[in-house]
């Protein structure tokens, strides 16, 4: 009877809800643009909840790589995380459909498709016990290498970093004749120093923020794929926050996501300039080589899809791209 009475009082809002601390993990280094925006979102949440909801941010990969953070969220050691498509695909693999190489070509196309496809991704994540707080992106993936690379043949001489949990990525690169080396992203610097790897794919802003470019000062001027991202929270933790407070928290999160997307795109261009001032060489890709890259990228799509990315999802993305391109 006592438990029933307390439950009723909580539901009626007559008993103050306990303060909530959300443990959030991110690979973003402290002081990076991403970390700053997450910290600002934390301030907004505290303000919007009247001090009842606060964040404890674990930055710089101190809790491990993105797959590690997903595992920690599943067992309750972590409540939320700012993830790229790689981490999100650990929860809902179909999300990698938007990141298939050379499928989406511009930010305008990405925005058009994501506006229409995001509800499907959110439903897939919710079915696995996670709530999307915001969407964003970290820029366009390029290849950074220790030796200049402009052709696929030149990339075949490199040892390419792939995420340790991404068997499909490793298979794609093997099929292309490139040697993949699986490891956590938190070990990229060690891998470059030791010679275990001499090439990796990431966005310019990430290459600068993590200082990876210092050991791989050649960038191929080829937008390979967009690196999307999202901030997610476990449904269990989200539902522990009083329902009346959630709308304001969602609004603050979405504003942070929009800001992250805008700033990441702007800072991506600035990152290239900063890296060029510090020794980076950007190598243009000739039209003939570009055609070969495109051919290999499309040949890789079935392997990327495998058993995890539904064919109808890719068809839906292609339909939206065709619509957008027809308008343009």
User: What is the domain-level CATH number for residue 54?
Assistant: 3.40.190.170
- Using a cut of 0.85, tell me whether the model's pTM lies above it: yes
How far is residue 175's CA from residue 161's CA, in Å, rounded to a whole number?
15
Give me 224's structure tokens: 């390979």
Identify the pLDDT of residue 32. 87
Q: What is the pLDDT of residues 282-308, one digit of tens each?
A: 999 999 999 999 999 998 888 888 778
- Whether residue 14 lies inside any domain: the answer is no
Identify the pLDDT of residue 155. 95
Identify the pLDDT of residue 12. 42
Strands 179-183 and 199-202: unpaired
- Whether residue 302 lies inside any domain: the answer is yes
Identify the pLDDT of residue 292. 94
Q: How many domains does the chain have?
A: 1
- Whether residue 5 lies inside any domain: the answer is no
Proportion of the chain above pLDDT 90, given as a percent = 77
- Whether residue 3 lies inside any domain: the answer is no
- Whether residue 6 lies inside any domain: the answer is no
Burial letters 90-107, b for 16+ CB under 10 A, else e: bbbbbbbbbbbbbbbeeb
- Whether residue 248 lies inside any domain: the answer is yes
- Whether residue 305 lies inside any domain: the answer is yes
Taking a C-beta distance cutoff of 8 angstroms, is the pair 287, 83 a contact?
Answer: no
Q: What is the pLDDT of residues 209-222, one digit of tens each?
A: 999 999 999 999 99
Residues spanned by the domain of 315: 19-327
């Amino acid at each position: 009877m006592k438990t029933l009475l307390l439950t009723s009082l909580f539901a009626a809002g007559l008993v103050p809800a306990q303060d909530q601390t959300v443990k959030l993990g991110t690979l973003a280094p402290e002081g990076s643009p991403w970390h700053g925006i997450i910290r600002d979102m934390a301030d907004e949440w505290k303000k919007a909840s009247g001090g009842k909801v606060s964040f404890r941010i674990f930055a710089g990969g101190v809790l491990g790589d993105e797959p590690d953070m997903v595992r920690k969220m599943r067992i309750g050691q972590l409540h939320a995380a700012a993830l790229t498509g790689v981490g999100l695909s650990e929860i809902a693999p179909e999300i990698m459909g938007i990141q298939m190489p050379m499928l989406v070509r511009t930010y305008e196309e990405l925005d058009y498709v994501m506006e229409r496809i995001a509800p499907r991704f959110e439903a897939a994540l919710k079915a696995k016990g996670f709530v999307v707080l915001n969407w964003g992106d970290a820029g366009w993936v390029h290849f950074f290498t220790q030796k200049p690379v402009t052709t696929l043949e030149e990339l075949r001489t490199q040892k390419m970093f792939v995420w340790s949990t991404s068997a499909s990525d490793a298979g794609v690169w093997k099929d292309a004749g490139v040697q993949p080396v699986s490891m956590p992203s938190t070990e990229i610097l060690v891998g470059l120093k030791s010679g275990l790897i001499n090439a990796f794919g990431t966005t310019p802003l990430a290459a600068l923020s993590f200082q990876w470019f210092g050991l791989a000062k050649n960038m191929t001027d080829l937008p390979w794929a967009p690196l999307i991202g999202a901030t997610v929270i476990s449904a269990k933790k989200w539902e522990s926050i009083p329902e009346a407070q959630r709308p304001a928290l969602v609004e603050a999160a979405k504003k942070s996501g929009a800001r992250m997307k805008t700033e990441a795109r702007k800072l991506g261009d600035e990152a290239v300039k900063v890296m060029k001032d510090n020794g980076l060489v950007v190598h243009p890709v000739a039209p003939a080589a570009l055609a070969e890259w495109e051919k290999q990228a499309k040949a890789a799509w079935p392997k990327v899809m495998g058993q995890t990315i539904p064919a109808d999802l890719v068809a839906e993305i292609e339909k939206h791209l065709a619509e957008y391109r027809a308008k343009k």
